[in-house]
Amino acid sequence: MRTRFAPSPSGLLHIGNAYSALICQQWQQHNHAELLLRIEDIDHNRCKPEWITAIFEDLEWLGIPFSTPILQQSLRTAHYQYALDQLQNLGVIYACNCTRKSIQAEIERMGVAPHLDDPHIFYPGTCREQHKEETANTAWRLNIEKAHALLNAELSWKDECQHYPVNWQQQSDPVIGRKDIGFSYHLASVVDDAEQQITHIIRGEDLRPFAPLHRILQSLLQLPEPTYIHHPILCDMQGNRLCKRHHAPTLQSLRQQGQNVQQLRERLYQSMANHLWNHGDFYSAIAD
């Protein structure tokens, strides 16, 4: 059995990332499994080499060793292009030249239900039938209807307890090839989970809505089916998600402040009971 930790070097790792990494390690040890690392750095606009270096330093400090090889997505674009070509040969993707603004305008014109008005989630299908020419500004979208017709099967994804049927109606032609960086997280991650032979994908609950899409891509690309384990996101005592936006303390800053790493691990283990992180208490512990 194998799992992986797949951080994006778009900033320094913070307490929320450490929490996720520890959950992976705990599962690995409990199951005598392997734990692999993947650096998800396809987004060259947001990722920096110094943040990759920091990931290695932070994880070593945190006491989380990984099996090799370590995958770095920015070195694997040929594999993602190959997968995109496969989807194109299957006739299930199409070129889309819409902008976020034009999608929003179309959604307003259609007057669709308010919960469908997020252009990230809902795409009104503007380019689906139009056979747009590929330009420098082209994204590639998955044609959900065609994918459904092609797979023509009861598709499901699974966690450790049960199978969940893929609800095709909830899917909305997602971007698989981004116009800015060529590929989407979805495509790169399913290709790499197969490459790393991951049997159990452990990741935050925020990514759970994408499990059906990932299953569809695996099925189209004839990749193995993994088991998903989505863990709750660590929050502060006010219920805010511990992330960069909410100024979650970084591991680098804690290390530089002389934080005892065993104590940090203990605190994170204790947080697993309710997925809450008690900042104040922790800082007074640093001061002691």
Cβ-contact 156, 215 below 8 angstroms = yes
* Residue/partner pairs of 237-246 with CB below 8 Å, 24 or more apart: 237/276, 237/277, 237/278, 237/279, 237/280, 241/16, 242/14, 242/15, 242/16, 242/19, 242/277, 243/14, 243/16, 244/11, 244/14
Nearest distance from C-beta of residue 168 to ligand GLU, angstroms:
22
By CB under 6 A, which span of 2-10, 68-76, 122-130, 158-166 interacts with ligand GLU? Answer: 2-10
**Among positions 2, 3, 8, 124, the unique one binding ligand GLU when judged by CB under 6 A:** 8
Nearest distance from C-beta of residue 217 to ligand GLU, angstroms:
13
Count other Cβ atoms within 10 Å, centred on residue 202. Answer: 23
For residues 124 and 226, which CB has a smaller minimum distance to ligand GLU in the complex? 226
Distance separating alpha carbons of residues 187 and 210, to the nearest angstrom = 11
Distance separating alpha carbons of residues 104 and 99, to the nearest angstrom = 9
Nearest distance from C-beta of residue 149 to ligand GLU, angstroms:
28
For residues 49 and 91, which CB has a smaller minimum distance to ligand GLU in the complex? 49
Total residues contacting ligand GLU (rule CB under 6 A)? Answer: 7
**Planar angle of CA 135, 98, 173, nearest 5 degrees:** 105
Nearest distance from C-beta of residue 207 to ligand GLU, angstroms:
6
Per CB under 6 A, 249 contacts ligand GLU: no
Q: Which residue has the tokens 């040890």?
A: 29
For residues 7 and 119, which CB has a smaller minimum distance to ligand GLU in the complex? 7
Tally the residues of the chain.
288
Nearest distance from C-beta of residue 123 to ligand GLU, angstroms:
22
Per CB under 6 A, 223 contacts ligand GLU: no
For residues 14 and 141, which CB has a smaller minimum distance to ligand GLU in the complex? 14
For residues 7 and 177, which CB has a smaller minimum distance to ligand GLU in the complex? 7
**Among positions 90, 151, 207, 276, the unique one binding ligand GLU when judged by CB under 6 A:** 207
Per CB under 6 A, 203 contacts ligand GLU: yes
Cβ-contact 174, 121 below 8 angstroms = no
For residues 154 and 180, which CB has a smaller minimum distance to ligand GLU in the complex? 180
Binding mask 169-198 for ligand GLU (x = CB under 6 A): --------------------x---------
CA distances from 17 to 193, 218, 261, 286 (A): 19, 26, 15, 20
Which residue has its beta carbon closest to ligand GLU?
Answer: 203
Nearest distance from C-beta of residue 253 to ligand GLU, angstroms:
19
Burial of 252 (0-12, 13-18, 19+ CB in 10 A): middle
Distance separating alpha carbons of residues 172 and 96, to the nearest angstrom = 13
Binding mask 19-48 for ligand GLU (x = CB under 6 A): ---------------------x--------
Q: Using only C-alpha atoms, what is the Rg of the chain?
A: 20
Q: Please tell me whether residue 112 adopts helix, strand or coil conformation.
A: coil
CA distances from 115 to 99, 126, 170 (A): 20, 19, 12
| Residues at the interface with ligand GLU (CB under 6 A) | 6-8, 40, 189, 203, 207
